[in-house]
């Protein structure tokens, strides 16, 4: 955790380890609340992230995700908490919308799972059930954390999980948005940015294959059609929901890496995005060799990266 806020207007920074990565919050005082109140709101946001880790972490034996997978093949399936059922349902919708490019149920896939939202029960018909929410859980946790801040009246904040899932509330004083630089993850933090963006009341999801790798060196993002790893350098998506941005950045990485929707030399890869609370997606970034930004518009921006 950071030191206490000393002066009004000084950003308050809080951090914690969860889901195998580092989450950080930056809260900016609007001048109307005591520093202790700002810190209390930040601590409540971190509590939301802790709760999501207890539900979705693949690194904990006592997580709800671990229990659900363990009980999934039992007669009658397994019970789901309300939040778990909501995330499961969202993942199923995104799996369908992406034609399976995003699928946290691999290797059997989410198609092998029966989900009853009325009774909040799930059952897997495959012999080896699997659920890996690694591509969406950080964003889901940030959505919860951001909602907690908004309920507390916080209007200016930047939240991220591992720098690959980012939520921006409002903007710093005197700025149009929170300035974010996007770099090639294989080149380190000193590399020149591929692009810069200002985020305001928006979430950014970044997906790349350079993180977790198996003994053979294969990346953790898999093409569900054949199980091969996706090796496109970078894919990004913007959406009001961090969970949806995360999921679609993963789907885009797969689609671009294997020319899922178009040939590799196509200008872009079209991908419809699911709405979130009635909001249409704001942007997509799509990887593509050597190209510059394709288009800027009032509702959408398309970028491609080397």
Its pTM stands at: 0.84
Kindly state whether residues 224 and 264 are assigned to the same domain.
yes
Q: Which residues span the domain enclosing 9? A: 1-58+134-175
State mean pLDDT over 192-218: 73
Lowest pLDDT segment from 10-19, 32-41, 58-67: 32-41
Q: Which of 91, 98, 1 is nearest to 40 (CA)?
A: 1
Do 12 and 39 form a contact (C-beta atoms < 8 A)?
yes
Instruction: Give the end of a domain, one of 121, 152, 175.
Output: 175
Give CA–CA dist 174/28, Å, rounded: 12
Total domain count for the chain?
Answer: 3
How many helices (H) and strands (E) the chain has is answered by 5, 14
Any idea what the CATH number is for the domain that residue 155 is in?
Answer: 3.10.520.10
Kindly state whether residues 214 and 299 are assigned to the same domain.
yes
Count of other CB atoms within 10 angstroms of residue 268:
19
Average pLDDT taken over every residue of the chain: 80
State mean pLDDT over 52-57: 96
Q: Note the pLDDT of residue 256.
A: 66
Kindly state whether residues 240 and 283 are assigned to the same domain.
yes
Kindly state whether residues 125 and 254 are assigned to the same domain.
no
- Give residue-wise pLDDT tens across range 104-162: 998 899 999 999 999 999 999 999 999 999 889 999 999 999 999 999 999 999 999 99
Kindly state whether residues 41 and 156 are assigned to the same domain.
yes
Kindly state whether residues 294 and 183 are assigned to the same domain.
yes
Instruction: Give the end of a domain, one of 131, 156, 186.
Output: 131
Kindly state whether residues 252 and 281 are assigned to the same domain.
yes
Which phi and psi (to 5°) does residue 301 adopt? -130, 135
Kindly state whether residues 4 and 33 are assigned to the same domain.
yes
Element (H, E) at 17: strand 12-18
Q: Note the pLDDT of residue 176.
A: 92
Instruction: Give the end of a domain, one of 131, 165, 187.
Output: 131
Kindly state whether residues 230 and 258 are assigned to the same domain.
yes
């Amino acid at each position: 955790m950071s030191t206490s806020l000393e002066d009004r207007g000084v950003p308050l920074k809080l951090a914690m380890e969860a889901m195998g990565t580092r989450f950080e919050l930056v809260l900016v005082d609007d001048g109307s609340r005591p520093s202790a109140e700002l810190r209390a709101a930040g601590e409540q946001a971190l509590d939301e992230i802790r709760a999501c880790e207890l539900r979705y972490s693949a690194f904990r034996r006592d997580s709800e995700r671990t229990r659900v997978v363990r009980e999934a093949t039992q007669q009658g399936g397994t019970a789901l908490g309300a939040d778990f059922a909501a995330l499961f349902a969202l993942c199923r919708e995104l799996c369908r919308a992406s034609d399976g490019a995003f699928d946290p149920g691999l290797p059997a896939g989410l198609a092998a799972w029966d989900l009853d939202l009325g009774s909040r029960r799930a059952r897997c018909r495959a012999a080896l059930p699997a659920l890996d929410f690694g591509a969406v859980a950080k964003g889901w946790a940030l959505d919860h954390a951001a909602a907690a801040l908004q309920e507390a009246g916080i209007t200016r904040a930047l939240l991220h999980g591992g720098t690959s899932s980012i939520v921006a509330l409002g903007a710093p004083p005197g700025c149009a948005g929170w300035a974010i630089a996007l770099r090639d993850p294989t080149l380190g933090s000193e590399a020149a940015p591929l692009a810069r963006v200002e985020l305001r009341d928006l979430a950014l999801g970044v997906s790349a294959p350079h993180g977790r790798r198996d003994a053979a060196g294969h990346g953790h993002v898999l093409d569900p059609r054949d199980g091969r790893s996706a090796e496109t350098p970078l894919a990004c998506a913007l959406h009001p929901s961090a969970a949806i941005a995360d999921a679609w950045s993963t789907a885009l990485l797969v689609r671009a890496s294997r020319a899922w929707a178009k040939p590799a030399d196509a200008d872009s890869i079209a991908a419809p995005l699911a709405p979130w609370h009635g909001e249409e997606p704001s942007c997509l970034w799509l990887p593509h060799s050597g190209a510059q930004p394709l288009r800027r518009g009032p509702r959408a921006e398309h970028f491609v990266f080397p």
